[in-house]
A and B are shown apart, each in its own frame.
Chain A
């Protein structure tokens, strides 16, 4: 997304940055609050007349699965609870992380400034303490070591909404800071070793820079030649990181502006691998497991968004799983995500 172009509008920069982690509206074709029917609904057929990708083979038949459902409570003085789409909101011990808020999701400054993060098991949620001077917070995920991560929200002296990345280490909030002054930033991923990744947007430079934070030190991740910025979204326990790089107005020939990438630690720095695009302007890795497999999403040349799997090796990304095609609304299309 062209976040670098919106950074001067602070509310927009933060809102768009955080939209990555699931503040968005329901997917196209879904009606909020609409009743479910009992009829099974297989999804995966193209909804807008485009050819579908090949389906996954050799998988478990999900139709044999059933789930018991436990509603998660709402923190006191709030109206809703929400799990952002970080992919990390429940750890292997069954401890969840998310946030409670009042009003409508993402609708106003009040949403950002009154939200409170939580962790715990359903029925035993605990509010995460706020950072001093930061009136709101979102928890985006939790590790197996019960370290939660997310952001604290505030308004700066110019009235702009800003965020700072936060780790709650067994309940105590740590402000990770930003790469540069006059910035807004978010912790988007964290591994079980305590390494945190995210993006830091400088309002002065009008650019977002991917970062990794570990034990009090935040470092900018290296860019590929021609890239002007990027964002780190997922990190596995070996320390491999995925996200995207922004090539601005001069992307490599035949490609779009934003490319999925993989950062692999080597000799105190990182080797950066361009995972490519699906022919459209936007592509990003979202999560990476301990086998080095990356899942993310990307637009094709027609502007449709596809989930993808990158399975390692020298190849670029490709669509491997059948997915519903979602037409981006015009506003989102212009932002590239």
Chain B
């Protein structure tokens, strides 16, 4: 098991919750910020 945060580019906010993964390996995830707001991302595998 590997932290998803280690597989994304530096500078990406700390991903705190995954939203899902599809059959292509694409992942949705969100980062929670200190003020209660969130930022969300789609992670696409690099082959």
Contact = CB atoms under 8 A, between A and B. Distances in A.
A237 to B, nearest CB: 13
B1 A96 contact: no
B interface bracket (residues with beta carbon within 8 Å of A): 35 or more
A67 B11 CA distance: 13
Contacts of B42: 69-70, 72, 90, 94, 96, 122
Interface residues of A, number: 56
A85 B1 contact: no
Interface in B2-47: 2-14, 16-24, 26-46
A243 B47 CA distance: 36
A49 interface: no
Interface of B: 1-14, 16-24, 26-46
A89 interface: yes
7 contacts: A26-B16, A26-B32, A68-B9, A70-B41, A90-B42, A94-B26, A105-B32
Contacts of A55: 1
A316 interface: no
Contacts of A69: 8-9, 12, 41-44
Contacts of A27: 16
Q: Secondary structure of the A side of the interface?
A: loop
B19 A85 contact: yes
Contact of B40 (A33, A34, A67, A82): A82
Interface in A23-51: 24-27, 30-36, 38, 40-44
Contacts of B34: 31-33
